[in-house]
Chains A and B, each alone.
Chain A
Amino acid sequence: MTGFATMTDPAAAYVLRHGDDNLVLAQRLSEWVSLGPELEEDIALANVALDHLGVATHLLGHASQLVGGGTTDDDLAFQRTEREFTNVVLVEQPNGDFAHTMARQLFMDAYQRLLWEALAVSEDAILAGIAAKAHKESLYHFRHTSGWVVRLGDGTDESHTRMQAAVDNLWRYTGELFEMDDLDRQMVESGVGVDLGALSGPWLHAIAAVAADAMIALPDEVTQRGGGRRGFHTEHLGHLLSEMQWMQRTYPGLEW
């Protein structure tokens, strides 16, 4: 099979990067299943993972249509290499303790709430439809996650320390969410994409409001780590993919 890295259709590449964010985040969240801190939260994390997986399925499906040539969403999910995934590196970061999972989720929920709202008026009608649906889901994801961040941040000394450490550790991966590359600019120009830079102000505003309620201090400027959109990932993605893809790699085309 020829590598997907050669994918030249910009519209497909654009849909795929947002699909990859959701696919990788869904896979990470589902690692919590049966390990959640309490039964209700275990179910909640599985539900949120399922929402992200659904969005990923629709976006990868749409991307595969744009690629054409009989490519399927499963091909894109299970047969691309680490270097061909274009998710932001934030979503591939390990779950860590529950505070780390909630900090990662808070950053993504606040981002996706703005992203989907903006993509809901994309010139790409299918992308717009998927975004409008995902937007509704991101609203209650954000509500759920921010509730936990406040409970932990404004909780015991132990929970506060852990929540603060999680925000401090993951902050360096948030800058990538708002980075604009040539593909982003091209997609904005054609009316398909979003000006990500314009989302960073409202994002910070939302995060600051939750942090204030949670007694969490937001980090000062730190050196940001990106590269995911170009396929340069942290060491964690390869491990995640080897688990997610091994069945299809071992038995290509296997179906239930």
Chain B
Amino acid sequence: MIIIAERINGMFKDVKQAIADKDKKVVQDLAKKQTEAGASYLDVNVGTASADQEGTMQWLVETIQETCSTPLCLDSQKPNVIAAGLKSVKAGAAVMLNSTPLNKKSDEQVLDKYIEMAEQAGPKASIIALTMDKNGVPQDIDTRVAIAAEIVQKAMEKGFDTQRLFIDPIILPVKVPGAQVQPGNIMAAMDQIRYLADPAPHMTIGLSNLSQGATERSLINRTFLAMAVSHGLDSAIIDVLDEKLMNVLATAELLMNKQIYSDSYLRAYSPANK
């Protein structure tokens, strides 16, 4: 499982304040704690903390890299913000560009731009593409799969290795009226998306969005995570500091034969051994 840790995001109060105060310690502590807890990548999202999104992205990237070498997942739907972050990412490092839809009304070529930026960033750069297009987020299974197919096709046309491509079928808050059907739809879509290419593109989700505004957030998150792993989810943007969630993830991967069982498998899943 490629685990992307979600906490360095300007939507969180502590990070927002840290950005406003240019307080490196808060960001660096989160980077270290999430790395120790098992992050493969650290998501970096400026959020709404600053008007200068490009400058803030660069500051976050530089601040994190001062303290740890965990690969970064630059999180913005604006190509210029991603590009700014990439300037500060250490040359040749693994990096994720998160995220782009298939296309936007305002920018038909947005996916091309992300692919090109990833190519320029080197062979360890990958992108997360959302099953979303200029018409918005699809609600049904078929449209999700159709958009994913177009994304995969575009990547292949451009010679971009599908193993560097992460498809995010977009999980919506279960509490939103009418959205309760979505978790099931997403799993059904994933069942098809994994056959779009060989080797299959990775699949990721921004898990915490599922429980937005709900009580029992952690329980909802970890239950769906286990279900999604059984449908081929091999990456997720999650709260790695949620120990119960991490234990469920380790167990789900074990039951799917992704990890070799040992009596101490929960310890074996810990970051020190990854």
Partners in one complex: no
